[in-house]
Amino acid sequence: MLVVHQSSLALPQEPKHFDVFQEWPDGYVRFIYSSEEKNAQRHLSGWAMRNTNNHNCQILKKSCLGVVVCARSCALPGGARLQLRPAICDKARQKQQKKACPNCNSALELIPCRGHSGYPVTNFWRLDGKAIFFQAKGVHDHPRPESKLEAEARRSAIKKQMSSSHHSQKKRPLNSEAGRYHDSGSYANNLQNLPCMDGPERVGIITDTNFSIPAQSYPSLQNSDLYKASYDSASFQEDQLLPYSKCPNPRIYMPRPCSYEFGVPTFISSSPYPAFYKDLASPAIDADPLSLNGSHYNAVTAHDKSLDNPGRHYGLKSAWGKTGSGDRSDYGQMQTSVNHPYYVGDYPCRYGPSPSPIAPPLQTVITTTTKVSYQAYKPSTLKYNDNLCDMKNLQSYTHVAENVSGTIYSGMKIQEDIGMIKSALLYQHDPVPTKSEPAESVETYRCGPLLGNSYAEHEGETLRFESADY
DNA sequence: TCTTGCGGGTGCT
DNA sequence: AGCACCCGCAAGA
């Protein structure tokens, strides 16, 4: 299915369609946003990303800081876990870590992101004319922190409280803060709501609850209401219960992405959620970020052969060990779209929910080639039908959850589950992407997420993109 | 006070 | 050369 032509250097055409802004991009994904998209202009991300100097003025690079959690992983009143957004500024972050857990007063701990072959997940941004190209590398191996807006909302709320209530309530800030975490499904998780999980194992598990879900489509961060809603405790509960109870799959989170490279992007139609990426073989070698000019892409995940993730904390390993799939070869972060069940490429990893598929040998070899041309086409979506899950139903749950609580967490999780399922299915049924291209990078792309923005027109159409460096 | 972006510089591979 | 990362600076909220 994947076709890669590195030889082709044709310049990418100007994107006619833009992806809906993704607040939580995860996995090896690529999106093209309109230069009008404010969130994209600001290079926003739900993840705490700090600027990284890549000595390239053309491309803004950011790396993930991870998430701040309670060192004791205490459970908040609702059973959720504290997951703070790390301060971006080094100094501010140091201060932040010196503070005590608002819930139990124990120390706070920063869980670094090691989702990109042991290094933090990186995001690349490039403005090119009317489009803003985005590329993410790595799969976040930690829970989601508060989104930027949530963090800001919380701070302002605390300030308000502080100013409105005086002495007698001096203690409230802490409590209220804890309560907020508790209330917000987006950064507080309730283990009880993870029916699919094998079961929390220890501390590590907590993180699972909030694992990133591949970018879900999130129309806009600008919708502050969303966050306001997240503070509604009532909503929170619904949010938590609803989605999970319906979700048959556990969310398996791979501690680390496998290596990935760009090689063959496949364009699939647009999906509201980032594509699932798979990677095949080589150890993380990154090919040029944003090298794809106009391609609409979503990459897909990669797998690392090295299952071991040194530096990985929070019991991920143990969690994996339990998942029963044997090894942690399933790294998939499935970013899948309910609406667009296509997945390109093979899925080397085994997925928990579905019995370990046979992992094909690495079919894709990714190289560091900077110039790659891609051909994308939309794969058939039919194969997904009638599968393990009722995607439509799941999707509807997702929507419900989002509407109810305003948090995207629940829905995302579901989507991820769906993605996993899909990927598993694909893996099992679609041997296609098995082309091995030695020394060649192969990357699978999907069209950007879009509910309204569809690339349907690309169906069956082959798009070629130049992957020269942006 | 903090975020964000920039850029000099270092160390490793 | 590419990448990660440290540090400081400046602008802006």
Q: Which nucleotide is nearest to A91 (CA to C1')?
A: B2
Q: What is the pLDDT of residue A125?
A: 92
Say whether the CB atom of A312 is under 7 angstroms from strand B. Answer: no
How do the domains of chain A map onto residue ranges?
A: 3-466
Q: What is the pLDDT of residue A288?
A: 53
* pLDDT, tens digit (0-9, with 9 covering 90-100), for A395-428: 333 333 333 333 333 333 333 333 333 333 333 3
Say whether the CB atom of A57 is under 7 angstroms from strand B. Answer: yes
CA A63 to C1' B1 (Å) is: 22
Q: What is the pLDDT of residue A105?
A: 85
Say whether the CB atom of A62 is under 7 angstroms from strand B. Answer: yes
Q: What is the pLDDT of residue A47?
A: 92
- What separation, in Å, do the N-terminal and C-terminal C-alpha atoms of chain A show? 25
Q: Which nucleotide is nearest to A41 (CA to C1')?
A: B4
CA A257 to C1' B13 (Å) is: 20
* pLDDT, tens digit (0-9, with 9 covering 90-100), for A260-317: 333 333 323 333 333 333 333 333 344 454 554 434 444 443 333 333 333 333 333 3
Which bases of chain B are under 7 A from a protein CB atom? Answer: 1-9
Which bases of chain C are under 7 A from a protein CB atom? Answer: 2-7
Q: Which nucleotide is nearest to A370 (CA to C1')?
A: C2
Which residues of chain A are modeled with pLDDT < 70? 1-15, 159-470
